[in-house]
Amino acid sequence: MSMEVTSQFFEKNASKALKDPNLRKAMQIIGGPMASRRVETARELPEFEALRDEGVKIRNHVLQHIDLYLERFEQQLTARGGKLHWCRTPREARETILALCRSRDAKLVTKGKSMVTEEIGLNAFLEEHGITPVETDLGEYIIQLAHEPPSHIIGPALHKTREQVAELFEDHHPDYELNGRKAGPRSTEPQVLVTEARHVLRDRYFQADVGITGANFLIAETGATVIVTNEGNGDLTQSLPKMHIAVSSIEKVIPNLEDLSTILRILARSATGQEMSCYTTLSCGPKRPEDIDGPEEFHVVLVDNGRSEMLGTELQPLMRCIRCGACMNNCPVYHSVGGHAYGWVYPGPIGAALDPHMIGLETARHLPNASTFCGKCEEVCPMRIPLPDIMRYWREQAHEKQITPPLQRWGVELWAFAAKTPWLYRLGTRIAIAALNMLGKDKGRFAKMPLASGWTDGRDLPAPQSAETFMSQYKSRKGSRK
């Protein structure tokens, strides 16, 4: 029911992505400006590293007492007239949301950006039941028109070039007119495209029966939900319709507003390199009699979807994640293949560490393997999540449970057997190196190598420098010295 999973085809997905010229153009932005802006804004804030430590402390503390903070959040939310819906599974969450929409006889719902709704496959489910969801975040809107999943957790349409966006708008808003005249061939200027999306979406906000948003944080002290956006679409989504549903997950709870301000100071800097995002909106319950606007009903749908199983395990640090996307902005593998290759909601290093838990290791086994372990993700993660360690944990699980393909498993075990038997290793390597050296001597490298085409398809393999290994050369030199 939830988003179609293609993680098991990572190699094929990656290969396709590497040949997509539009994707390659789009990826240059992530590897270049996105990554460098983070460095610059972090540098401007002397206490940035200390704030990271503080953030880690806050999250670790909450995870130790998560039951307490969630109950406190529910109390406060209820006291302010909101209602909390506990949902163990994606299915429970979808059905809860559908029932809420039906209670308002909803035909059209507007949506702010929410990865949890991607996780539970909400849009397709609502459509099946006769309700039209309209994404209002520009990136989400673009990929909704294109019928694609997001490729990045904060920039869902980063893989699309502006030419592709203009084409999509041409197809989907054929009658769009600006200032009384049709735009003719559509401009590919970002400014013009954004204006068009704004105009089209503006009517939707007023027509919507229900507004659905995510929540970056849940404040236990006040029962408020928090969204962080750059477009202001979230505010219109949640304040104009009669009902606001915030969909979030259990690890998003934090104790109080002090903690919120600490984490906000590192969130946008890590994500987009902004000091703060343009809008930070706290929702503190439905409209009160004295309020001039706001929803009549306020519901928080809290999804577990396997998260509570991570508590107290090697995976618990993943629950510190604040979904900033810094790990993917700085990942060399992500820069090459983009987000769709990972084949599920969460791509990049966080996905490689999280997805095996969420969709099963057999399905996601490539993801923790498709990493060079360069360690850049851990270096930039504001919450200092040990992503490479967790990917290695999955590799160990895959080896132990024999999910790793037999040839790879046997290969490593055979190598390890030799490594544990030095005389055998020396004998084997002496023969192999002598042979390789003889074959590659003329050129000093190989353009083709059986069993190593993964290497030689795209680059040469340097030949061993000498017919003798270092160890045997050293032994004979030492012998002659005596």
Partner 1 sequence: MSSIESKPRVALFVTCLVDLFRPSVGFATIKLLEDAGCVVDVPEAQVCCAQPAYNSGDRKDTVAIARQVIETFEDYDYVVAPSGSCGGMIKDHYPALFAAEPDWQRRAQDLSARMFELTSFLVDVLKSDPVAASLNAKVTYHDSCSGLRELGVKAQPRALLGSVDGVELVEMKTPETCCGFGGTFCVKYGEVSTDIVSRKTADIAETGADMLLAGDMGCLLNMAGKLKREGSSMQVRHVAEVLAGMTDTPAIGESK
Binding-site ranges for partner 1 (CB under 8 A): 11, 14-15, 18, 31, 332-333, 335-337, 369-376, 378-379, 392, 394-400, 404, 408-409, 412-413, 415-416, 418-420, 422, 425, 429, 432-433, 441-445, 447, 452-455, 457-466, 468-471, 473-475
Which three-class secondary structure state does DSSP give residue 196? helix
CB of 42 to partner 1, least distance (A): 15
> CB neighbours of 116 closer than 8 A, spacing ≥ 6?
214, 247, 248, 249, 303
Tell me whether residue 201 or residue 403 sits nearer to partner 1 (CB atom).
Answer: 403
Neighbours of 248 (CB within 10 A): 24
Is the distance from CB of 27 to CB of 335 less than 8 angstroms?
Answer: yes
Q: Are strands 217-219 and 253-254 parallel, antiparallel or unpaired?
A: parallel
CB of 119 to partner 1, least distance (A): 26
CB of 371 to partner 1, least distance (A): 7
Tell me whether residue 293 or residue 442 sits nearer to partner 1 (CB atom).
Answer: 442
Is the distance from CB of 242 to CB of 295 less than 8 angstroms?
Answer: yes
Q: What is the DSSP letter of 438?
A: H
CB of 81 to partner 1, least distance (A): 49
CB of 473 to partner 1, least distance (A): 5
Say how far apart CA 326 and CA 266 lie, in whole Å. 11
Question: What region, left, alpha or beta, does residue 373 occupy, with left being phi > 0 and alpha being psi -120 to 50 degrees?
Answer: left
CB of 180 to partner 1, least distance (A): 48
Residue 116 tokens, joined: 């949890």
The helix (run of H) or strand (run of E) holding residue 213 is strand 210-213
CB of 395 to partner 1, least distance (A): 3
Tell me whether residue 91 or residue 392 sits nearer to partner 1 (CB atom).
Answer: 392
Say how far apart CA 19 and CA 336 lie, in whole Å. 10
Tell me whether residue 175 or residue 457 sits nearer to partner 1 (CB atom).
Answer: 457
CB of 267 to partner 1, least distance (A): 23
Tell me whether residue 17 or residue 168 sits nearer to partner 1 (CB atom).
Answer: 17
In angstroms, what CA-CA distances link 370 with 213, 348, 456? 33, 10, 18
Tell me whether residue 35 or residue 215 sits nearer to partner 1 (CB atom).
Answer: 35
> What beta strand segments (E) does 428-479 contain?
445-446, 461-462
Tell me whether residue 34 or residue 215 sits nearer to partner 1 (CB atom).
Answer: 34
Tell me whether residue 237 or residue 371 sits nearer to partner 1 (CB atom).
Answer: 371
Which three-class secondary structure state does DSSP give residue 244? strand
Tell me whether residue 139 or residue 273 sits nearer to partner 1 (CB atom).
Answer: 273
Is the distance from CB of 296 to CB of 242 less than 8 angstroms?
Answer: yes
Is the distance from CB of 139 to CB of 158 less than 8 angstroms?
Answer: yes
Strands, sheet with 224-229, edge to edge from the N-terminal-most edge strand: 253-254, 217-219, 224-229, 279-283
Closest CA to 301 of 210, 189, 191: 210
Tell me whether residue 232 or residue 405 sits nearer to partner 1 (CB atom).
Answer: 405
Q: What is the DSSP string of 81-128?
A: T-EEEEESSHHHHHHHHHHHHHHTT-SEEEE---HHHHHTTHHHHHHH
Which three-class secondary structure state does DSSP give residue 186? coil
Q: Are strands 177-178 and 181-182 parallel, antiparallel or unpaired?
A: antiparallel
Tell me whether residue 24 or residue 162 sits nearer to partner 1 (CB atom).
Answer: 24
Tell me whether residue 190 or residue 444 sits nearer to partner 1 (CB atom).
Answer: 444
Rg of the Cα atoms in the chain:
26
Residue 185 tokens, joined: 């061939």
CB of 29 to partner 1, least distance (A): 14
CB of 286 to partner 1, least distance (A): 49
CB of 347 to partner 1, least distance (A): 14
CB of 271 to partner 1, least distance (A): 20
Say how far apart CA 386 and CA 394 lie, in whole Å. 13
